[in-house]
């Protein structure tokens, strides 16, 4: 057995190894462990961002609730006179307590089961639930994780009475599948659906588990409508090369799976790869330009026709 000092291709340090088992581009154990730690830190940062988004959504909801349900304190006037202090209390004023906020969508948001992901619905006016929107147009919905937040600016701009965007911050494929029947309740026959999810599943489960969750989601969508668009995953600027490769592999599988199921697949990778200027500073979420582009792609997918 021959041994010699082998130089690491990453850090440049030398290590004594058996030359027979050393690959052409050798990486030492310390560099390998450091890369694994970097991947773990990136995953933790992604999870922290999702928790921060959930916390911000819950804070907004709590603030709105307090503004509606907390009555104002009764005013007390104090009249001060020379040598005498007299307190005069105004007559109690009845404060009307009612909810000035109307429901944004026909979904029973407060009744959604499962984990504590806030549901944010936008892009539709407060109208009675109907089979179709104004002018007889079919209902169209975008359902997804926090990446779809803000896409209603473009997706719903011309048909706000018949389109909405349902955002489930931090949701994985299972969470969307668990809520899809509740979300689509009251949306009439054959609504048009765009689903964008899967980003939060990368690096957390085996590929087979994620694909099985997509199959279960497909079964539920098929039971409700045939007009389905599956939106492919976006690249993540701050993610490692390995993580983005996993996203590409899942997109390749999704495209083939959609072809077999009769769903429409929407490719987003080429539109956003290398366009890191379309992302916020966190390197995960899209900025306003990015959400406008994604929302436009959702709208174009419906205009081009669904299977």
Check whether 265 has a pLDDT greater than 70: yes
Which tens digit of pLDDT belongs to each residue from 21-56?
666 677 777 887 777 787 778 778 777 877 777 777
Q: Are 249 and 211 in contact (CB under 8 A)?
A: no
More confident residue, 24 or 246: 246
Whole-model pTM: value is 0.59
Residues 197 and 264 in one domain: yes
DSSP 111: G
Residue 185 main-chain phi, psi, to 5 deg: -65, 125
Q: Is the pLDDT of residue 272 over 90?
A: yes
Q: Which of 74-83, 119-128, 153-162, 276-285 has the highest average model confidence (pLDDT)?
A: 276-285
Are 36 and 160 found together in one domain?
no
Q: In this structure, is residue 284 part of a structural domain?
A: yes
Q: How far, in Å, CA of 208 to CA of 2, rounded?
A: 42
- Work out the average pLDDT over 84-110: 45
**With bands split at pLDDT 50, 70 and 90, how would you rate the model's confidence at 97?**
very low
Q: What is the pLDDT of residue 238?
A: 87
**SS3 call for 11:** coil
Instruction: Give the distance from CA 119 to its chain's centroid.
Output: 10
Residue of 188, 289, 275, 177 whose CA lies nearest to 230: 177
Whether 169 and 61 map to the same domain: the answer is no
Structural domain ending residue among the three candidates 43, 69, 95: 69
**Tokens, residue 204:** 């957390």
The mean-pLDDT minimum among 21-30, 64-73, 104-113, 160-169 falls in 104-113
To which residue do tokens 């979300």 refer? 183
- Residue 113 shares a structural domain with residue 51: no
Task: Indicate if 59 and 173 belong to the same structural domain.
Answer: no
Instruction: Report pLDDT for 27.
Output: 75
3-state secondary structure of 107: coil
Percent of the chain with pLDDT over 70: 67
pLDDT at 55: 76
Q: Is residue 83 part of a domain?
A: no
Indicate whether 183 and 284 sit together in one domain: yes
Count up the domains in the chain and report the number: 2
Using alpha carbons, select from 242, 266, 263, 253 the residue that is nearest to residue 212. 253
In a domain, 212, yes or no: yes
Phi–psi pair at 34, nearest 5 degrees:
-65, -40
pLDDT over 80 at 2, yes or no: no
d(CA 209, CA 201): 9
Three-state secondary structure readout of 53-113: HHHHHHHHHHHHHHHHHCCCCCCEEEEEECCEEEEEECCCCCCCCCCCCCCCCCCCHHHCC
Is the same domain home to 163 and 286? yes
Residue 98 lies in a domain: no
Distance of alpha carbon 175 from alpha carbon 170, whole angstroms: 9
Domain enclosing residue 139, as ranges: 109-303
169 and 218 belong to one structural domain: yes
* 253 lies in the same domain as 174: yes
pLDDT of residue 264: 94
Helix axes of 241-261 and 207-224: crossing angle, nearest 10 degrees:
30
pLDDT one-digit tens code per residue, 199-219:
888 877 565 689 999 999 999
- Same domain for 294 and 181: yes
The answer as to whether 76 is a domain residue is no
User: Is the residue at 190 inside a domain?
Assistant: yes
Residues 67, 70, 74, 75: is their CA dihedral positive or negative? negative
CA torsion sign for 16, 22, 24, 30 is negative
Of 128-142, 185-199, 221-235, 276-290, least confident by mean pLDDT is: 128-142
Q: What is the CATH number of the domain that holds 171?
A: 3.40.50.1110
**pLDDT value at residue 92:** 47
Residue 298 has which token pair?
A: 């959702």
Better-scored residue on pLDDT, 68 or 16: 16
Residue 166 forms part of a structural domain: yes
Shared domain check, 31 and 136:
no
Q: Are residues 245 and 135 in the same domain?
A: yes
Q: Which residues contact 3 (CB under 8 A, 6 or more apart)?
A: 16, 17, 18, 19
Could you tell me if residue 85 is inside a domain?
Answer: no
Range scoring the smallest mean pLDDT among 93-107, 193-207, 240-254, 276-290: 93-107
pLDDT digits (tens, 9 = 90+) for 219-241: 999 999 889 999 999 999 988 88
CA–CA gap between residue 133 and residue 142 (Å, rounded): 15
């Amino acid at each position: 057995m021959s041994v010699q000092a082998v130089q690491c291709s990453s850090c440049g340090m030398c290590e004594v190894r058996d030359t027979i088992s050393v690959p052409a581009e050798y990486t030492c154990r310390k560099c390998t462990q450091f890369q694994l730690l970097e991947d773990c830190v990136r995953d933790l940062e992604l999870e922290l961002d999702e928790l921060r988004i959930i916390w911000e959504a819950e804070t907004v909801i709590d603030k709105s609730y307090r503004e509606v349900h907390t009555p104002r304190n009764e005013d007390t006037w104090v009249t001060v006179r020379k040598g005498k202090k007299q307190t005069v209390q105004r007559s109690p004023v009845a404060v009307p307590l009612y909810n000035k906020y109307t429901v944004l969508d026909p979904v029973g948001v407060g009744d959604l089961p499962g984990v504590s992901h806030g549901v944010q619905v936008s892009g539709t006016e407060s109208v009675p639930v109907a089979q179709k929107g104004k002018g007889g147009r079919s209902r169209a919905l975008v359902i997804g994780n926090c990446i779809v937040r803000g896409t209603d600016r473009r997706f719903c701009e011309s048909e706000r009475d018949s389109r909405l965007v349902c955002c489930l911050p931090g949701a994985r494929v299972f969470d969307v599948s668990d809520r899809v029947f509740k979300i689509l309740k009251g949306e009439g026959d054959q609504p048009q659906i765009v689903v964008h999810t899967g980003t939060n599943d990368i690096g957390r489960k085996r590929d087979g588990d994620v694909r099985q969750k997509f199959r279960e989601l497909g079964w539920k969508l098929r039971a409700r409508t045939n007009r389905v668009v599956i939106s492919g995953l976006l690249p993540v600027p701050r993610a490692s090369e390995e993580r983005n490769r996993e996203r590409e592999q899942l997109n390749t599988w999704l495209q083939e799976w959609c072809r077999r199921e009769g769903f429409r697949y929407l490719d987003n990778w080429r539109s956003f790869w290398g366009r890191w200027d379309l992302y916020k500073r966190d390197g995960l979420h899209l900025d306003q330009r990015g959400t406008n582009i994604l929302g436009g792609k959702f709208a174009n997918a419906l205009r081009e026709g669904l299977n």
